[in-house]
C-alpha cells in the first residue's frame, strides 16, 4: 500500500516534470533553431582533426611544374646518395608496399622511386618528384602494414607538394626555378648553378622539414590511401605505438623526422578518428 502511494506520487511528479520540460522544450528548440547551423559547423570543425584537408584538390599550380619537379628530384637524389649509403636490402619489400600506396594516392600517375638507406636511426622521408626513403632500422622494426603506413604518409607529402611549398618560400627559389627550366642534363654550367643555389638553400634535407600542419595532412592522406593499397589502416596506429615506446626508451634511435612530428598520442587519436569515419562510409 505504501509502495502504491509512493509509486503514484512518483508518477504524478514524473507527469508534472514532463509538462514542465515540454513547455521548456519548445522554447529551447526555438533558441537552438536560431543558431543551429553555425553551432554544428563549429563543433564539426572542432571534432574533425582533418577538416581543412578534406576536399582539397592538389596540383602543381603556383609551384614548380611537374617536369621541373622531377628534374629537381633527380638532382636532390644525387645529393642523398653522396650523403648516405643506399642498399638493396629490403628494397623489394619497400618498393612493393610503396608502389601500392602511390597507386592508391591522389597523385597516382607520378613515377615514384623508393630507396633504402643504411642507417641505425628509424627514419623515412621524401623529396620532390616522388623519391621516397626508408632506413634499414625502420624496415626492421615495422611489419608490412606499419611500414606501409609510413610509406603512405611519405607519398602524402609528395601528393600535397609540401617540399615544393617549402622551396617556394626560400630566397633561392627564382634561381633554382630558372636553372631547372634551362637544365637538360646532370652536367654543365646550369647544373652547377643549380647545385650552388640548392646548397645555399640548405640542400635536400631542408626540403624534408615539414610543419606540424603538413605532418597532419600527410597522416590524413596516408591513412586514407591505405585501404586502397590493401593495407589495414590499423597499421598506422601500431606504428605510432611502437614509436611511442621507442621514444621513451631509446629516443636517440628516432630520426629527427619522427621526433619533430606532432605528438604521437595525438596522431593515434586522429588516426582512430579517421578509421572510424572511413568505416562509416
Residues at the interface with Zn ion (CB under 5 A): 215, 218
Beta bridge partners of 170: none
Q: Can you list the positions of beta strands (E) in 68-165?
A: 86-87, 113-117, 124-127, 131-135
Q: Which is nearer to Zn ion, 190 or 253 (CB)?
A: 253
Q: Which is nearer to Zn ion, 214 or 232 (CB)?
A: 214
CB 19 to Zn ion: min, Å? 58
Count Cβ atoms below 10 Å from residue 228 Cβ, excluding itself: 14
CB 240 to Zn ion: min, Å? 12
CB 221 to Zn ion: min, Å? 10
CB 73 to Zn ion: min, Å? 17
Q: Which is nearer to Zn ion, 198 or 221 (CB)?
A: 221
Q: Which is nearer to Zn ion, 76 or 218 (CB)?
A: 218
DSSP type of residue 160: T
- Angle (deg, nearest 10), helices 173-182 and 189-201: 150
Please check whether residue 223 is in contact with residue 276, taking contact to mean a CB–CB distance below 8 angstroms.
no
CB 87 to Zn ion: min, Å? 22
Q: Which is nearer to Zn ion, 66 or 215 (CB)?
A: 215
Strand 124-127 and strand 131-135: the pairing is antiparallel
Q: Which three cell numbers stand for residue 263?
A: 605528438
Amino acid at each position: 500500500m505504501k509502495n502504491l502511494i509512493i509509486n503514484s506520487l512518483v508518477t504524478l511528479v514524473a507527469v508534472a516534470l514532463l509538462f514542465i520540460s515540454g513547455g521548456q522544450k519548445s522554447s529551447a528548440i526555438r533558441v537552438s533553431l536560431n543558431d543551429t547551423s553555425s553551432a554544428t559547423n563549429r563543433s564539426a570543425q572542432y571534432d574533425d582533426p582533418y577538416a581543412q584537408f578534406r576536399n582539397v584538390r592538389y596540383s602543381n599550380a603556383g609551384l614548380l611544374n611537374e617536369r621541373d619537379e622531377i628534374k629537381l628530384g633527380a638532382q636532390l637524389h644525387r645529393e642523398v646518395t653522396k650523403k648516405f649509403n643506399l642498399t638493396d636490402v629490403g628494397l623489394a619489400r619497400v618498393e612493393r608496399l610503396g608502389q601500392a600506396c602511390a597507386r592508391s594516392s591522389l597523385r597516382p600517375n607520378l613515377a615514384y622511386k623508393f630507396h633504402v638507406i643504411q642507417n641505425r636511426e628509424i627514419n623515412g622521408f621524401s623529396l620532390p618528384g616522388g623519391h621516397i626513403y626508408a632506413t634499414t632500422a625502420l624496415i626492421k622494426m615495422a611489419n608490412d602494414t606499419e611500414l606501409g603506413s609510413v610509406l603512405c604518409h611519405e607519398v602524402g607529402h609528395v601528393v600535397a607538394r609540401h617540399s615544393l611549398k617549402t622551396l617556394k618560400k626560400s630566397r633561392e627559389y627564382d634561381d633554382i626555378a630558372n636553372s631547372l627550366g634551362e637544365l637538360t642534363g646532370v652536367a654543365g654550367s646550369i647544373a652547377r648553378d643549380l647545385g650552388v643555389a640548392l646548397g645555399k638553400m640548405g640542400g635536400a634535407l631542408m626540403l624534408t622539414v615539414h610543419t606540424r600542419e603538413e605532418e597532419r595532412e600527410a597522416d590524413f592522406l596516408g591513412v586514407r590511401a591505405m585501404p586502397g593499397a590493401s593495407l589495414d589502416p590499423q597499421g598506422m596506429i601500431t606504428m605510432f605505438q611502437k614509436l611511442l615506446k621507442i621514444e621513451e626508451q631509446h629516443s636517440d634511435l628516432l630520426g629527427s623526422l619522427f621526433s619533430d612530428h606532432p605528438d604521437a598520442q595525438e596522431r593515434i587519436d586522429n588516426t582512430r578518428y579517421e578509421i572510424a569515419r572511413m568505416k562509416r562510409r
